[in-house]
A and B are shown apart, each in its own frame.
Chain A
Amino acid sequence: MTAASGDVEANDVEASDLEALARRGRQLVIDSVAHSGAGHIGGPLSAMDLLVALFFRVLRIRPEEPHWPERDRFILSKGHSAIGLYAVMALRGYFPVEELATFDAGDSRLQGHPDMTRLPGLDASTGSLGQGLAVGLGIALGARLRGLGFHTFVMLGDGETQEGMVWESVQVAAKYGLGHLTAIVDCNGLQQYGWPAAPGEEGRGDRRDPLAGTRLGAALEAFGWRVLEIDGHDSHAIVEACDDARASAASARPTAILAATVKGRGVSFTEGRFEWHSRVATADEAAAARAELDLVEDRRA
């Protein structure tokens, strides 16, 4: 498998480094949210391994030149996980890690939801769910019209796929054969409030899985997409799936990567708890989370 970094410099960190970066990213999420007194925890933590793998191994980007025209594009359609994206962008060198302390504050570039008019490096503004894939589709279409060879990745939440607009994009992307468009779905089994889990029903936490009773992969395939299903906490699998998507850009079929994740991943008391969708850690909880993330070795090892 070729390194995704291509002609762009130095994305090649080891898998173990990716895991260390993800732990650091998770700490930054919890601390930034505790510091600002608002924000989301569950979604940023479930997406962290995906974001780290994307920004450190997959995306052809130049943090020092965020508007580089040939960069790969990345859109966080589940915009409420902004703090996760900001933490990874800071670690990748887009801005100083200290700037995370301004998250959610007035005049900050780090708004509660990603704001491309404020922060260079964001390829779309999001926050109202279901709209990011359409922008990615437009970018991918524009890239083809302009003859640019970059790849566009869009990350969605599993709950977010309930939005009708997602399916409008899914159909149009397939019609235009946009093999250089990839959707990554953070399948963490929870949304904000959702439906209560039925007794005995297999779900994560005490709420029903947003995709319970549906087959997202089959639906996407039915609309003409390629579908890859991976463990969204396995850095190696994430990089491999993204490389596979890029390698099949010429196939004229967009790729959806369904990443199985755990909401609130990395901290024992946030994992699989719908309440942590947008809770703020108390000082004690933040300290406990920090200690866990410092100690925990990769659980899969």
Chain B
Amino acid sequence: MTTAMRDAWAQTLIDLAGDNPDLLVLDGDLGTSTRADRFAAAWPDRFLQMGIAEQNMVGVAAGLATLGYIPWLSSFAVFLTHRAVDPVRMLVAQTHANVKIGAAYTGLLTGFTGKTHQDVEDLAIMRAMPGMTVIAPGDATECAAAVRWATATQGPVYLRLARDAGPDLFDGSYVFEPGRVIPLRAGSDVLLVSTGPQTARCLEAAEMLATSGFSAGVLHVPCLKPVDAAAILAAARGVRLVVTVEEHTILGGVGGLVAEILTEHEPRQLVRIGIADTWGESASNAFLLDRHGLSATRVAERVARELAGVGSSAGAAS
């Protein structure tokens, strides 16, 4: 069984706290879900319960940061990027405060909670804030590396954590570098650009496409800001079609990012797969991925259809 990001997040903070006396965790009454309760058990004096009051929690973190503390916030993403967005913007982003936003339960797969709790706009919002580093790890290993990097680096960081465990993408040698994009599979017909746990589903879709005779590459973007735009452009040059795929709205996330880069430098057609400007709902993971076209099967189907529309090359017709 693979590890869930929230488990990796908590365990890494527990590991780091020994060498880093300034590391604190602030919780908005969700530690039992975010796994901050494990940190609280390991480091009771470094855990600060803030109750159901997220705006206050963000302000408190900004204050602690002025004394050299490194506060990690624990809550569901929506309550940080939406409820507390003004304090995040003014007190954290605009002051470049050393506050780390541990945003749990992101995207659609949030355990049946429904649209109120499904944060599918967080990347767009956080990416728009000057000075904010925006990270969406693809697996637990990358998540742990990002937590280590963020804790050691001055400045605000938004870390997008998925609730459920997914396939492992990386091994223990993985090193997080801000902005780096990671080619996980080469392909000549289509490039799937993805982030977070959706990258694993893209790899699966690429396998399916291969059996239909299409060569699909997968580019993983674990850090949306900063980002290595040149590397994205270079990867896009080799294929007939570029497709972005994300468990996020198609507005302003990876789709927006790649659209901006391509349009500015090498304009070409782009297909964006994601939540198509609509809201989610309470449902099983399988239902949601299928409904929003994000399961590996649905991604492969859509990409095959789009490829048929952009003219033929080496790829076989479906």
Contact = CB atoms under 8 A, between A and B. Distances in A.
A140 to B, nearest CB: 23
A160 B31 CA distance: 16
Interface string A165-208: 00000000000000000000000000111110000000000000
Contact of A191 (B52, B55, B287): B52
B34 to A, nearest CB: 9
Interface residues of A, number: 33
A128 B31 contact: no
Contacts of A277: 32
Interface stretch (A17-25, A101-109, A255-263): A101-109
B237 interface: no
B116 A193 contact: no
A271 interface: no
B112 to A, nearest CB: 4
A36 B112 contact: yes
A243 B212 CA distance: 69
Interface in A260-294: 275, 277
A127 B114 contact: yes
A14 B40 CA distance: 48
Contact of B116 (A37, A128, A210): A128
A79 interface: yes
A5 interface: no
B111 A106 contact: no
B31 A193 contact: yes
Interface stretch (B96-104, B124-132, B276-284): B276-284
Given A128-B83, A191-B29, A193-B30, A111 B51 contact: no
Interface string B77-98: 0110011000000000000000
B180 interface: no
A163 B37 contact: no
Contacts of B287: 105-106
Interface in A115-159: 115, 125-130, 159
Contacts of B281: 106-108, 111, 115
Given A38-B111, A106-B287, A79 B116 contact: yes
A125 B116 contact: yes
A112 interface: yes
B56 interface: yes
B49 interface: yes
A162 B79 contact: no
Nearest to B53: A162
A34 to B, nearest CB: 13
B318 to A, nearest CB: 28
Interface range on chain B: under 10, 10 to 19, 20 to 34, or 35 or more? 20 to 34
Contact of A128 (B51, B78, B283): B78
A214 to B, nearest CB: 11
B291 interface: yes
Contacts of B46: none
Interface in A210-233: 210
Which of A79, A125, A163, A210 has the most chain B CB atoms inside 10 A of its CB? A163
B52 A129 contact: yes
B114 A113 contact: yes
Interface in B36-53: 37, 49, 51-53
B282 A104 contact: yes
A159 B52 contact: yes
B17 interface: no
Interface string B273-295: 00000000111100110010000
B30 A192 contact: yes
A96 interface: no
A104 B283 contact: yes
A44 interface: no
A36 to B, nearest CB: 7
A115 B115 contact: yes
Contacts of A128: 78-79, 82-83, 116-117
A39 interface: yes
B53 A163 contact: yes
B12 interface: no
Which of B79, B115, B116, B282 has the most chain A CB atoms inside 10 A of its CB? B282
B297 interface: no
A127 B117 contact: yes
B27 interface: yes
B283 A193 contact: no
A111 to B, nearest CB: 5
A164 interface: yes
Interface of B: 27, 29-33, 37, 49, 51-53, 55-56, 78-79, 82-83, 111-117, 281-284, 287-288, 291
Given A37-B112, A163-B52, A191-B29, 10 more contacts: A104-B114, A106-B288, A108-B281, A111-B281, A112-B112, A128-B79, A191-B51, A193-B29, A194-B29, A195-B49
17 contacts: A104-B114, A104-B283, A105-B282, A108-B282, A111-B115, A112-B114, A113-B114, A126-B116, A127-B116, A128-B82, A162-B53, A163-B52, A164-B53, A192-B30, A193-B31, A193-B32, A277-B32
